[in-house]
Amino acid sequence: MTLFIAFEIAIWVTSVCGVLVGAWLVWRGRKQGDLKALAGFAVMMALWCFGHLALFHNLQTLGMVLLLANPLMPTFFLHFAILFVNEGAAWRPWLSIIARNMGWIYATSVLIVLLSIWGGAGDTVALMGGRPFFVFNELGAVNLGYTIFIGVLGHGVLLLGWRQHTGNKKRSILAMFGVAAWGLLLATSFVFPSFGINVFPYPMLLLPSYLLLLVYGVVRYQILDVNRFANRALLALAMMLVILCVIAVFGTLSGRFGLQALTTVPVWQLWLYSLVVLLVAATVYPWLRRVTERLVFPGAVLNESVLESWNLELNKAESWSDLLNQGGQLLAHHLRQPVGIYMQDSDASEPLYLSVEKTANGWYVQPSQTEDLSPGMRLTLEVFSSIFATKCAALERSLALAEAERKRLDEQHLVELGSLSAAMAHELRNPLNIISMASYNSPPETKRHIQEQLTRADRLVSDMLVYSGKLTLQYQSVAIKSLVTNVLSVLNMESVLITVQIPPELEVQGDIHRLQQVFINLIDNALAYVRNQEGGSVCIEAHMEQDACVCRIHNNGPALDASIKQDDLFRPFVSKRPGGSGLGLAIVRRIMDAHHGIISHREDLGWPVTFECRLPKSPQQASGETSHV
């Protein structure tokens, strides 16, 4: 009697699981035909199990109808297999034809079912203490054979898919084959009575596992929620088995320790009580965990939304300064007090800060000045430090990729323009020299005009060679003020007011000749726009900001065309002043890039036009090394 109850419970569980799984698949697979077909398979399996339950409770007509509808179950599975396999790179036209004509296969299956019901293809035998159990008679052989044929055909389609697909799709098909072997083992016991083998179908006690494992094998690589649920389900099952073992051992040994009352309690009751306790504990655990965290770590509000917000904001950083500033703002907002994040060896200006350090084992972030903080704030700092270290490593990789891409583009740029500039130098300078010699006996005014135009053409050729050629940097200490003074001595300043605000001791590591060219181009460009206007003024200032030397060349000339974007401004021939080559700013950017610096145009410093150069005080190359760009 107990065995029959266990069997009926297993069938009930399978039926309920089939309905729930079918509904869930229809909901999750609203736009996926394969999941809808799998939902049909789950529902038909539930109905098949209901047929067994109907026979158990003397509803013979209903039970026979549901059990003889057996062929519809593999038909749904065949439909699912075709749709699951026939997509992506493994698409096969003939499978699409079968999918479009699945209605005929469904119709054939329905016809087999109707003929089986009309001809009485099933009977019952007394099994499990006289309870009726379904068996196929001679006419039912057609029903059973057709069911087996469609099932084999469905798994044949999966075999084809396993050979054609790769990756997660192939893993899913492999998992389905493993589950199919398990299902075959369970289903074999169902047909034993049909062949006169009156053995209790013990494997059918595990029937609920077949449907769940099949669905899990299909969707585990598509729907992440299923894996989370499976993880919790396996954990619950493991806990149930552990409790079962502990209760069995405890019930056996309790009498030896004077606990006679427990020896009279049935083991299944002790197990049931323990499961109830486990269920209650699992229900209240999340709430109790939040309460204890608030008591032990007051003020620490760390949940999935906070961590996700931190990750999203930190992912927006495109430079180290952005990352440090963004991290400090996030942490300060969360802790409601000023927080700074600094690289190692930087001077911290906040009482509470995080020190970021690159070690041989990766990035390391250490909170400092935390002695007076609450446990909750310390926990927040530790969690944030771990996340921030991960973002440092990600940004480092991103910048390395960007640098590699920049070098690739530079190399491509050199290949394209190098040959062009060499050809121009050869083809243009020879005729320019001939024109210069031919103008020797021209009238003075004509000769002067020709020489001016020849000088302009020669400068255009020279700028093209500088822009397209390879830059070789010889690093040394460069005094910025002295450099600017030398540049101003060779430029035509006429009536322009020049102001220099540079500390005499300000120095950087760089190539003095290339940096001189930067200042010549920028200052000459500024003079060209203010030289012929009343009250023309140019201001040159420089100072240190952290580890960078910031040089700014201001002028009160007309503002640049607002239609020119920041990135386009430093491209060749985009912004061309009268008499210029159109390459001045492009050359400046090339030299600044070679020094690992930044050149930008600004309008927010009180002057109509400002060009700002940021040069690292200590570039990556050591002093005296040669850099080729």
Q: What is the residue range of 593's domain?
A: 470-628
Q: Label residue 261 exposed, middle or buried (CB < 10 Å: 0-12, 13-18, 19+).
A: exposed
At residue 510, φ and ψ (nearest 5 deg) are -170, 180
Residue 449 lies in a domain: no
Of the residues 374, 403, 432, the one at which a domain ends = 403
pLDDT band at 564 (very low <50, low <70, confident <90, very high): confident
DSSP code, position 622? P
Confidence at residue 177, expressed as pLDDT on a 0 to 100 scale = 75
Q: What is the largest CA-CA distance in the chain?
A: 132
Same domain, 182 and 250: no
Choose the weakest-confidence range: 271-285, 312-326, 552-566.
271-285
CB 484 within 8 A of CB 500: yes
Residue 86 lies in a domain: yes
The percentage of residues in the chain with a pLDDT greater than 90, rounded to a whole number, is 8
Number of structural domains, the chain?
4
C-alpha span between 22 and 408 (Å, rounded): 54
Residue 547 lies in a domain: yes
Same domain, 15 and 162: yes
Closest by CA position to 609, among listed 577, 563, 561, 549: 561
Of the residues 371, 386, 403, the one at which a domain ends = 403
Residue 232 lies in a domain: no
Same domain, 537 and 604: yes
The vertex-462 CA angle with 461 and 466, nearest 5°, equals 120
Confidence at residue 469, expressed as pLDDT on a 0 to 100 scale = 62
Same domain, 158 and 291: no
| The pair of three-digit structure tokens given for residue 172, joined into one six-digit string | 């899913």
The string of pLDDT tens digits covering residues 340-358 is 888 876 776 777 778 888 8
Confidence at residue 42, expressed as pLDDT on a 0 to 100 scale = 84
Higher-scoring residue by pLDDT: 78, 1: 78
Confidence at residue 539, expressed as pLDDT on a 0 to 100 scale = 94
C-alpha span between 130 and 58 (Å, rounded): 12
pLDDT above 60 for 626: no
Range 458-471 average pLDDT: 67
Range 119-141 average pLDDT: 78
pLDDT above 50 for 543: yes
C-alpha span between 179 and 177 (Å, rounded): 5
Confidence at residue 59, expressed as pLDDT on a 0 to 100 scale = 86
Same domain, 244 and 195: no
Same domain, 393 and 521: no
Choose the weakest-confidence range: 44-58, 105-119, 466-480.
466-480
DSSP code, position 297? S
pLDDT band at 278 (very low <50, low <70, confident <90, very high): confident
Closest by CA position to 533, among listed 484, 497, 582, 507: 497
The string of pLDDT tens digits covering residues 598-622 is 999 988 888 999 999 999 877 654 3
Across 2-6, 234-238, 498-502, the highest mean pLDDT is recorded for 498-502
pLDDT above 80 for 112: yes
Average pLDDT of the chain, as a whole number? 78
Residue 517: CATH number of its domain: 3.30.565.10
Confidence at residue 1, expressed as pLDDT on a 0 to 100 scale = 47
Confidence at residue 233, expressed as pLDDT on a 0 to 100 scale = 61
CA distances from 511 to 182, 405, 570 (A): 74, 24, 21
CB 385 within 8 A of CB 400: no
CA atoms within 13 A on the CB side of 247: 18
Same domain, 216 and 109: yes
Q: Which long-range contacts (CB under 8 A, 24 or more apart) does 200-208 make?
A: 200/3, 200/127, 200/128, 201/7, 201/133, 204/7, 204/10, 204/11, 205/6, 205/7, 205/10, 206/10, 207/10, 207/11, 207/14, 207/49, 208/10, 208/13, 208/14, 208/17
The string of pLDDT tens digits covering residues 517-538 is 899 889 988 888 888 788 889 9
> DSSP of 172-195, one letter per residue?
HHHHHHHHHHHHHHHHHHHHTGGG
Same domain, 480 and 623: yes
Range 309-316 average pLDDT: 85
CB 150 within 8 A of CB 79: no
C-alpha span between 80 and 38 (Å, rounded): 6
Residue 180 lies in a domain: yes
Choose the weakest-confidence range: 175-179, 187-191, 233-237, 588-592.
233-237
Of the residues 403, 437, 456, the one at which a domain ends = 403
Higher-scoring residue by pLDDT: 499, 299: 499
C-alpha span between 447 and 60 (Å, rounded): 119
Higher-scoring residue by pLDDT: 494, 47: 47
Confidence at residue 623, expressed as pLDDT on a 0 to 100 scale = 41
At residue 490, φ and ψ (nearest 5 deg) are -105, 0
Range 318-338 average pLDDT: 83
Residue 229 lies in a domain: no
CB 585 within 8 A of CB 575: yes
> DSSP of 579-619, one letter per residue?
T--S-HHHHHHHHHHHTT-EEEEES-SSSSEEEEEEEESS-
Residue 438 lies in a domain: no
Same domain, 368 and 502: no
Range 221-242 average pLDDT: 61
Same domain, 27 and 164: yes
Same domain, 212 and 142: yes
C-alpha span between 147 and 153 (Å, rounded): 10
Q: Which long-range contacts (CB under 8 A, 24 or more apart) does 11-14 make?
A: 11/49, 11/52, 11/53, 11/204, 11/207, 12/49, 12/53, 13/208, 14/45, 14/46, 14/49, 14/207, 14/208, 14/211
pLDDT above 60 for 224: no
Same domain, 200 and 338: no
111: CB partners within 8 A, 6+ apart = none
Strands of the sheet containing 353-359, edge to edge, are 340-343, 353-359, 362-368
How would you write 550-572 as a 3-class SS string? EEEEEECCCCCCCCCCHHHHCCC
User: At 261, is the secondary structure helix, strand, or coil?
Assistant: helix
C-alpha span between 390 and 252 (Å, rounded): 53
C-alpha span between 315 and 317 (Å, rounded): 6
Residue 412 lies in a domain: no
The percentage of residues in the chain with a pLDDT greater than 70, rounded to a whole number, is 76
Higher-scoring residue by pLDDT: 103, 442: 103
CB 391 within 8 A of CB 317: yes
pLDDT above 90 for 552: yes
Confidence at residue 554, expressed as pLDDT on a 0 to 100 scale = 93
pLDDT above 80 for 496: yes
pLDDT band at 110 (very low <50, low <70, confident <90, very high): very high
pLDDT band at 121 (very low <50, low <70, confident <90, very high): confident
pLDDT band at 541 (very low <50, low <70, confident <90, very high): very high
